Structure 1
Amino acid sequence: MSTPVGRQQTEGGGRPQRADARTNRARILEIADEVFGKGGESAATEEVARRAGVGIATVFRHFPTKAALLEAVLVRRFDHLREQAEARLDAPDPGQAFLDLFAHLVADAATKIAIAEALLDAGGDGDGPAAQASNGLRRTIGVLLQRAQRAGAIRADVELPEVYALLVGTSRAAAHAHLDEEVRTRMLTIVFAGLTPP
């Protein structure tokens, strides 16, 4: 009699728990992205738990420290941005694909920077998984840049290091100066004029 009950708990009870755990983890990451993206280092893990509809113990079961949670949030964000970049690799207009991604990354920067600064404040590892995920995004941007250059849409005399530095600088300026969309668009027009052939 005890064997069927045990099997039922494993097959019927175990799987839903694992599915619930995956759902909870995904929900925690989604909410943490919003909370820390707006509040930076001042945001609290308790707020994440409250908005995700789980107990704080559930959050810490998935992410033992605030730094671990922030690291996972940042990895998720970089992976998502890399996937968006990869989706543009086969675009019929490589130049526009590159410029569109550049503009998208600048628009996304405030949230990403807030999370990254919160991670450093929480004692996160600057060379950890988030840095590796960031490097994956950088490599994909490099491929897009090369395609745009081969198409003649971006100057041939620029290379990824200076283009990436320009992207980072523009992103930080837009984020820290709290530029509205109109000013950001004009700034990008000037930047793009420097990147495109005369």
Structure 2
Amino acid sequence: MPEALRADARHNHDQLLAAARAAFAEHGTEASLRDIARRAGVGIGTLYRHFPTREALLQALMRARFDALGQRASGLLAEPSPREALLTWLEEVAAGSATYRGLPESVMTALRDEGSELHASCAAMREAGARLLERAQAEEAVRADVTIEELLALAAGTAWAGEQSPGRPEMARRLLRLAMTGLAG
């Protein structure tokens, strides 16, 4: 019986994360927690047992996102074109960045705290992205003076610009591709 309980708890946890991801994408970081619980098919008490605060839920989502982006960057290292691999990864970074606009200060503090799990996950994602950048620079597909921090800021900026063009969903992707032309080695 305990195995069934653990499996059920894991299922609820995963459902809550999926529902939160969708709700935050639609309504921003202030989406209703009751709506998230409803979407996940659980009660609000179950949500709070898994994530005692909105910040805990946001941190779990961000950690999962950073981990996925880190894994994606590592997988893209095998792609034949270093430039396209880097660009693909940056497009995925930009696509996810809009979801986390307006993060509470407590989440931003955890992101800056070198001892937090969230900071460690972000650092690992940046390191994986840096390997993509270094590979592209070694092939002279990207200028040698470009840093991963600059590219992440560029991805966030193009995501923001894309949001300002509601009739053009491809705007962020196009802006990243234009910027990559200027970053060529």
Q: Tell me whether the two structures share a fold, i.e. TM-score over 0.5.
A: yes
Please state whether the residue corresponding to 1:180 is helix, strand or coil. Answer: coil
1:124 aligns with 2:107: yes
Counterpart position of 1:27: 15
1:62 aligns with 2:50: yes
Which runs of structure 2 are paired with 1:165-176 in the superposition (5 Å)? 165-175=153-163
1:43 aligns with 2:26: no
Q: Rate the CA distance shift 1:42–1:170 in 2: closer, same or farther, 3 A.
A: same
Q: Which has the larger radius of gyration?
A: 1
Alignment partner of 1:181 out of 166, 169, 174: 169
Contact 2:162 2:169 in 1 (8 A): no
Counterpart position of 2:98: 110
- 1:137-177 CA distance string (max 9 Å, x none): 11111110000111221122323333333233223333455
Contact 2:83 2:136 in 1 (8 A): yes
Structure 2 CA distance, aligned partners of 1:179 and 1:135? 34
Offset at residue 179 of structure 1 (A): 6.7
Contact 1:82 1:140 in 2 (8 A): yes
Structure 2 CA distance, aligned partners of 1:76 and 1:63? 14
Counterpart position of 2:133: 145
For 1:120, give the aligned amino acid: P
Contact 2:73 2:89 in 1 (8 A): yes
Please state whether the residue corresponding to 1:181 is helix, strand or coil. Answer: coil
Q: After superposing the two structures, state which structure 1 stretch, 22-31 or 161-170, moved more.
A: 161-170
Aligned residues: 180
Contact 1:46 1:56 in 2 (8 A): yes
Contact 1:109 1:175 in 2 (8 A): no
1:99 aligns with 2:83: no
Q: Percent identity?
A: 36
Q: TM-score, normalised by structure 2?
A: 0.86
Q: Rate the CA distance shift 1:42–1:196 in 2: closer, same or farther, 3 A.
A: same
1:86 aligns with 2:74: yes
- 1:101-148 CA distance string (max 9 Å, x none): 11222233222x23xx2x416x43523433332222111111100001
- The structure richer in helix per residue is 1
| RMSD over equivalenced CA pairs, Å | 2.1
Please state whether the residue corresponding to 2:142 is helix, strand or coil. Answer: coil
Q: TM-score, normalised by structure 1?
A: 0.81
Q: Rate the CA distance shift 1:62–1:186 in 2: closer, same or farther, 3 A.
A: closer
Structure 1 CA distance, aligned partners of 2:107 and 2:180? 34
Structure 2 CA distance, aligned partners of 1:108 and 1:101? 11
